[in-house]
Chains A and B, each alone.
Chain A
Amino acid sequence: MVTVNIDGRDYEAKEGQTVLQVAREHGVDIPTLCHHEAIEPYGACRLCIVEITRGRRTRIVTSCLYPVEEGLKVKTNSPRVMSNRKMLVELLLARCSKNKVINQLASEMGIEKPIVRPEYLEEEDCMVCGLCVRTCEQVVGVSAISLVNRGITKEPASPFLESARDCIGCGSCYYVCPTGAIKMEDKGDKRYLYNWKVEFKLKKCKVCGNYWAPEKQLEYIRKKWNLPEGFFDICPTCK
């Protein structure tokens, strides 16, 4: 165990934990967009920056990646952190000027009007945090999508921008996306994931007759866990 000081209070932490984990365990709020407990930290959105002091050296680090150590002093909302974080939100707002989540975040940061000239405002929903891609790889285990291109053209995409062949239609990317950039829709017996240009047949429950999950996803799970055929004939509600 090590002792870490966050915003003036000492906390016990396990070695190997990140500053963000320790802070959240004790109810200290640090905003994040690209972070999810189930997925390896990535450090793309930089919103979770904090100011740390080690010895005489003070610097800005991302709390989602920084491992705790004995005697570490952390400030989660120093003036330097706040001015940086505000500028980061400005950059998000310039890119996603119409996005609800980002606008909410901007107003929480006290931003009334974007700092960027109106003609340069973009109306993206995706801010390239990569959560969809990382979830698909690390949680689902199919890597149906990936981040493509470099720099300002970087985006999550299906292979060759064609229909994502390996996608099982589970929708994890849709659920994990913090800004609602992924469009998924269940219509009748079909599920559509528009970003990846795929559609799936949904399975009908033998009892209630509701369409409840993509057949491809259920087959993937059944094989992965070695479940008997017909295991998913009845939906969880009717079971």
Chain B
Amino acid sequence: MTMITAVKKIGSRQDLEALRKELVKERRAERPVISLCNGTACRPYGCLKLTEDFKKELAKQGLEGKVELRVTGCHGLCEKGPIVVIQPGDIFYQQVNSEDVPEILSETITRGKIIDRLLHTDPATGRKVVHRNEIPFYRKQERNILGNNVEINLANIDDYIAIGGYTALAKALLEMTSEQIIDEIKASGLRGRGGAGFPTGTKWESCRHAPGDIKYVIVNADEGDPGAYANEGLLSGNPHSVLEGLIIGAYAIGAKQGYVYVRNEYPLSLANITTALRQAEQLGLLGTNILGSGFDFSVRINRGGGAFVCGESTALMASLEGKVGEPRAKYVHTAEKGLWNRPSDLNNVETWANVPLIINKGAEWYRKLGTEGSKGTKIFSLVGKINNTGLVEVPMGITLREIIYDIGGGIRDGKKFKAVQTGGPSGGCLPESMLDLPVDFDELSKAGSMMGSGGMIVMDETTCMVDIAKYFLTFLEEESCGKCLPCREGIKRMRQVFDEITEGRGSEKDLEFLEQLSATLIDSSLCGLGQTAPNPVLTTIRYFRNEYEAHIRDKKCPAGVCKALMHYYVIEEKCPGCGLCVKECPQQAIAFMGKKKPVVMDESKCIKCGVCYDVCKLGAIGKR
């Protein structure tokens, strides 16, 4: 692990370049690198212990100093963690255990031998893949933003500088005017990655032109969508990229103070951005006269208390001010009156991380990737009933099918795809017929969903779409701030209708009521939470109306999820009367009728816990 040898302020571009060269020389030393994921998702798999094991084993085998152990942020393929990538050779090992460590060092590192059992298997061909860039999960991705995670020891500024970090800052501060930076960002077509997709350059421009001497820039790291951890993977894995973007933005806008609002449930992000901040301060990349440009800027970190609504810009600002996190009307934009009524620019973690890339490589380069209205790449947390769960970064315009099947490796356990949910609780559920939809801001919203901050939940045939819509409503009902009537009362009424439908008391009129109520929420709610809350309801009604009708008319849940509408029964011809289910049933609802005779179930006693279904190895318990 490289360390800052002497904390000396970088006072100029020459200083930065000199430091970079020194660091590169150190990194280029001909020694193998073991890049070990220590991201949040790999931690429950025991990667922290694995890191210690590697350290001990390196010492034991006398490899200390001869091999670089790089402890990094998220590598992406979280499903198969802990992940180890070895250079040279780009060798990808997955699901690595403590027992594998001595062998990795003695075989792969010392003798260059590949350990077959640790390799990734291509789910399509069944073949083992050695190199990371040949794994289908990575092949179709464009990891422009996330890719550097594997190059950087967690929150290590030396590594970041060695791979060219803060050169964009130097270019922006020393070669470009504020206008030129804003023009470049505008020309790049970058749109806000937090969900709504507002053009970033335009936002910066209005904040720059807003009257007032004191302005603020803010990083929104309050990612709260269920199933989404895209911002987490980026902020914990490469905090300096976010910070660099923020400083460039602050310079362009004319802000001297920045804030990072991180949810407290992201301890790793919080720790790493805090470290990154301290390192940047020590090196003089934050503070006064940054890189000799005369520009002063400092950043503070605020921890969010976990309210979903605080991801909304005005609620976040209220929370930053120490008030209750309630949104306010944005008829006067936050670019004019935001934090403490001063012009404020708030962007998502991922938006900020795109900035250095655009400044370094130019808008022209950036625009090459993506669609007409959406440029660049987008990070998604690909989760749910999919083979390769993880963080993926794809070019805008890629189809849902490519993400789910080529990158995601298709649906788990050979089941059938049913729907994909993008945009979290504010997004919608898209059916199989929409799989060829190109993923960009406009196409997703046309289909009734939205980009959101990067959640992508894949559902299979065992998912009940009515139940899913109810789940999101229940989430939003709890997370509504309660300030405005339509959101507070409307979501509750919708959820009540869903209670009725999923318990078999729904009527045809309910769908009409849901649609009417949705229209009012969209039109008259105060903030985005209420305005988008009907999306899961409306898209499931639009694309899965038959499931609603089955619940309402036939009083059946086709997926067998809604308990009140579902029954377990004994398939007599399959049941040999082994009695396993009889033993396990907590309600004594199943009776043993003697050997080789099928068991008998008393439905009136059944509480639908599903234990019988789970324990029966012969498939003799059915659901209907």
Q: A: which residues have CB within 8 A of B?
A: 42-46, 49, 59-62, 65-67, 80, 83-84, 87-88, 91-92, 94-95, 115-117, 120, 127-128, 130, 147, 149-154
Contact = CB atoms under 8 A, between A and B. Distances in A.
A154 B488 CA distance: 9
Contact of A49 (B324, B328, B490, B524): B524
Given A44-B483, A87-B516, A92-B489, 4 more contacts: A42-B483, A46-B484, A83-B519, A83-B520
B186 to A, nearest CB: 21
B485 A91 contact: yes
Given A62-B329, A88-B486, A151-B479, A120 B526 contact: no
A84 B482 CA distance: 19
A171 B328 CA distance: 28
B500 interface: yes
Contacts of B479: 150-151
Nearest to A154: B482
Given A66-B331, A147-B324, A45 B524 contact: no
A60 B485 contact: no
A68 B479 CA distance: 32
B482 A152 contact: yes
Given A84-B519, A150-B482, A151-B477, A43 B526 contact: yes
Interface of B: 307, 324, 328-329, 331-332, 477-486, 488-490, 492-493, 496, 500, 513, 516-517, 519-520, 523-526
Contacts of A95: 489
A94 B493 contact: yes
A67 B492 contact: no
Nearest to B517: A87
B484 to A, nearest CB: 5
Binding site secondary structure of chain B: helix
A65 B331 contact: yes
B517 A46 contact: no
B332 A128 contact: no
B523 A60 contact: yes
Nearest to A69: B331
B25 to A, nearest CB: 55
B305 to A, nearest CB: 11
Contacts of B520: 83-84, 87-88
Contact of A61 (B331, B477, B483, B492): B331
Contacts of A116: 493, 496
14 contacts: A42-B483, A43-B483, A43-B526, A59-B523, A65-B329, A84-B519, A88-B520, A91-B493, A92-B485, A92-B489, A94-B493, A127-B485, A128-B488, A150-B307
B480 A152 contact: yes
Nearest to B516: A87
A207 B520 CA distance: 58
A23 to B, nearest CB: 16
B359 to A, nearest CB: 33
B481 A151 contact: yes
B315 to A, nearest CB: 11
A46 B524 contact: yes
Residue from the set B328, B332, B520, B525 with the largest chain A CB neighbour count within 10 Å = B520
Contact of B524 (A60, A66, A94, A115): A60
Residue from the set B483, B484, B485, B489 with the largest chain A CB neighbour count within 10 Å = B485
A113 to B, nearest CB: 13
B478 A88 contact: no
The 6 nearest A-B residue pairs measured at CB: A154-B482, A87-B520, A91-B489, A151-B480, A60-B523, A65-B329
A46 B480 contact: no
Nearest to B492: A152
A144 B468 CA distance: 42
Nearest to A115: B513
A147 B519 CA distance: 28
Contacts of B492: 152
Nearest to B307: A150
B483 to A, nearest CB: 6
Residue from the set A94, A115, A151 with the largest chain B CB neighbour count within 10 Å = A151
Contacts of A46: 484-486, 524-526
B77 to A, nearest CB: 37
A80 B329 contact: no
Contacts of B525: 46
A88 B481 CA distance: 17
A88 B332 CA distance: 25
A43 B327 CA distance: 10
A108 B506 CA distance: 30
A104 B274 CA distance: 56
B329 A128 contact: no
B496 A120 contact: yes
A150 B324 CA distance: 10
Nearest to B505: A117
A80 B523 contact: yes
Contacts of A130: 483
A227 B582 CA distance: 84
A138 to B, nearest CB: 14
Given A67-B331, A150-B307, A120 B482 contact: no
A95 B484 CA distance: 14
Contact of B484 (A43, A84, A150): A43
A128 B487 CA distance: 12
A117 B493 CA distance: 10
Contacts of B496: 116-117, 120
Contacts of A127: 485
A197 B415 CA distance: 59
A120 B517 CA distance: 16
Residue from the set A42, A91, A149 with the largest chain B CB neighbour count within 10 Å = A91
Contacts of A149: 482
Contacts of A154: 481-483, 488
Nearest to A130: B483
A130 B479 CA distance: 19
A45 B523 CA distance: 13
Contacts of B513: 115
A34 B517 CA distance: 21
A80 B481 CA distance: 26
A62 B485 CA distance: 12
A46 B490 CA distance: 12
Nearest to A149: B482
Contact of A84 (B477, B500, B524): B524
Nearest to A52: B331
B110 to A, nearest CB: 58
Nearest to B525: A46
A38 B484 CA distance: 20
Nearest to B521: A87
B488 A151 contact: yes
A150 B480 contact: yes
Contact of B488 (A87, A117, A152): A152
Contacts of A120: 493, 496
Nearest to A85: B524
A43 B488 CA distance: 13
